[in-house]
Structure 1
Amino acid sequence: MNEPVPSLPVTVTATLDSPLSRWLWLVKWLLALPHWLILVFLWIAFFFVTVVAFFAILFTERYPRSLFDFNLGVLRWSWRVSYYAYGALGTDRYPPFSLGPEPGYPARLDIAYPKRLSRSLVLVKWWLLAIPQYLVIAFFTGGMRVGWWSGGLISLLTLIAAFAVAFTDRYPRDLFALVIGLNRWVLRVAAYAVLMTDAYPPFRLDQGGTEPALSYRAPGAP
């Protein structure tokens, strides 16, 4: 009899809204400005909270729950704004100004709270162990040049989706699945790099708006 393999601690889901405005994406950079200004300060706080969490894990093997919830809130807020704006353009619903889970919003992120974290891993996972992942997601988020375009693969694909919506009034489903898969990979690495989990992100592109179904293995199998 097969048993389920535990799911990854980072859950990223997204629902593609339809219909989408053909031209609203042209001004979303302006509409999202209030969020980006707030996120600048939230990410500064995020950095200092992560430093405090580093020492807490090092000495107690625990990530203080209040600090964990704050950093998770910043990641959630960032993901919602990215989904609304140029990380996906998957909705025209304005993101809420909230650190909470906001289950009614079409972009959602959750990270399972770890009861204990490794003291030894906390010293190396955010820089040494994560280097291969950083090289991969650098291609997704920046450092790519194609002709006149200089940016990341996610931004390029999102721009293609924007033109598809503008001229065909539809967001290609396969393109949406790919964009969300790339964002999912980035968010998994982010959670690992900021010490919120010890589960190493898989080198796997899980596409689509929902997390992949649980795989199964025989008892005793590795």
Structure 2
Amino acid sequence: MADAQWSPGPRAWIADEWLPVLDVVEPPRQRRLTVLVRLLLLIPHFVVLFLLHIAAVVTVVVGWFAALFLGRLPEPVFRFLAGYLGYQVRVGASSMLLVDRYPPFALDPPPDYPVRIEVRPTGLNRLAVFFRLILMIPAAVVQGLAMSGWWAAGIVWWLITLILGRMPRPLFEATAAVLRYGMRFSAYVLMLTPAYPKGFFGEDDLSVPRQQTRSATRPLLISYAGKGLLVLFLVLGVATSITTSTTTTWSDEPTDGM
């Protein structure tokens, strides 16, 4: 299954609301040593992602103008942005302890890599493309709160995984849901899909073609414990935002005698 499949013609079984898919093969165990130094090991990837991000911003601007005229992204633009998004998701999955295998330095991963995304090029609504920055705001709020909430207690998830040598299933489900929603949000921002991000709390398998091989996240069925963790992530994200805002306000207030 490729990260990007280029076929600008319509397919009978692909609906306009088909959402980008995240496939993660859940590891039975993780090496504690790699968990211990995970973020240090990923520093080279963070540098590469920074450089790719600069190129992606330029490409998105070009793609935005092209999409306004063509009603879709040109093939080279689509392929690069899909590759960039896949790379970003693979590094994110590793940093969030979903997988143990080190991400490859490639936009197109090997077939057996345990993290893949699938995006399919479809037509884009020109009006939605024009107002993309405004339309994405609600999803950006959800994505920002969920991601900041996960990282606010990241050391707790790290300690749990380090001690057990694996990520408990409810935590895996909730973490995958955060990563998947972030992937769908980025795909919408990058104009790789016209479908607005959804399915934060999981979904049934109605959107998954029957012939596709399913992974731990395709479809992403979340237990009550996993959904509870997602709510916790959102609450922590709100608390983090309030704390940051309050701290910034206090630091900006003039002190007496100055």
TM-score (norm 2): 0.70
The ranges of structure 1 where at least 4 consecutive aligned residues each deviate by more than 3 angstroms after the TM superposition are 3-7, 156-159
Instruction: State the partner residue of 2:206.
Output: none
Q: Does 1:67 align with 2:77?
A: yes
Instruction: State the partner residue of 2:135.
Output: 129
- For residues 46 and 177 of structure 1, the distance between their equivalents in structure 2, rounded to whole angstroms, comes to 29
CA contact (8 A) 2:17 2:195 kept: no
Alpha-carbon RMSD across the aligned residues, in angstroms, is: 2.3
CA contact (8 A) 1:89 1:158 kept: no
CA contact (8 A) 1:101 1:109 kept: no
Output one character per residue of 1:45-92: Cα deviation in whole Å (capped at 9) or x when no partner: 00000000001011121200111110110111111111112xx21222
Change (3 A) 1:118 1:101: farther
Instruction: State the partner residue of 1:103.
Output: 111
Instruction: State the partner residue of 2:45.
Output: 35
Q: What secondary structure is seen at the aligned counterpart in 2 of 1:108?
A: strand
Report the structure, 1 or 2, having the larger helix content.
Answer: 2
Change (3 A) 1:109 1:158: farther
Q: How many equivalent pairs are there? A: 197
Q: Does 1:180 align with 2:176?
A: yes
Instruction: State the partner residue of 1:192.
Output: 188
| 1:67-216 pair list within 5 angstroms | 67-85=77-95, 88-114=96-122, 116-125=123-132, 127-141=133-147, 152-156=148-152, 158-202=154-198, 204-206=200-202, 209-212=217-220
Q: Does 1:55 align with 2:65?
A: yes
Instruction: State the partner residue of 1:44.
Output: 54
Letter of the 2:118 partner, please give it.
D
Unmatched tracts of structure 2, length 5 or more: 1-12, 204-215, 222-258
- For residues 55 and 167 of structure 1, the distance between their equivalents in structure 2, rounded to whole angstroms, comes to 50
Letter of the 2:34 partner, please give it.
L
Q: What secondary structure is seen at the aligned counterpart in 2 of 1:113?
A: coil
Letter of the 1:36 partner, please give it.
F
Change (3 A) 1:20 1:117: same
- For residues 22 and 36 of structure 1, the distance between their equivalents in structure 2, rounded to whole angstroms, comes to 22
Percent of paired sites with the same residue: 29
TM-score (norm 1): 0.80
- For residues 83 and 181 of structure 1, the distance between their equivalents in structure 2, rounded to whole angstroms, comes to 11
CA contact (8 A) 1:157 1:175 kept: no
- For residues 105 and 74 of structure 1, the distance between their equivalents in structure 2, rounded to whole angstroms, comes to 16
Change (3 A) 1:59 1:42: same
Deviation at 1:210, TM superposition (A): 2.1
- For residues 106 and 121 of structure 2, the distance between their equivalents in structure 1, rounded to whole angstroms, comes to 19
Q: What secondary structure is seen at the aligned counterpart in 2 of 1:12?
A: strand
Q: What secondary structure is seen at the aligned counterpart in 1 of 2:32?
A: coil
Q: Does 1:22 align with 2:28?
A: no
Q: What secondary structure is seen at the aligned counterpart in 2 of 1:120?
A: helix
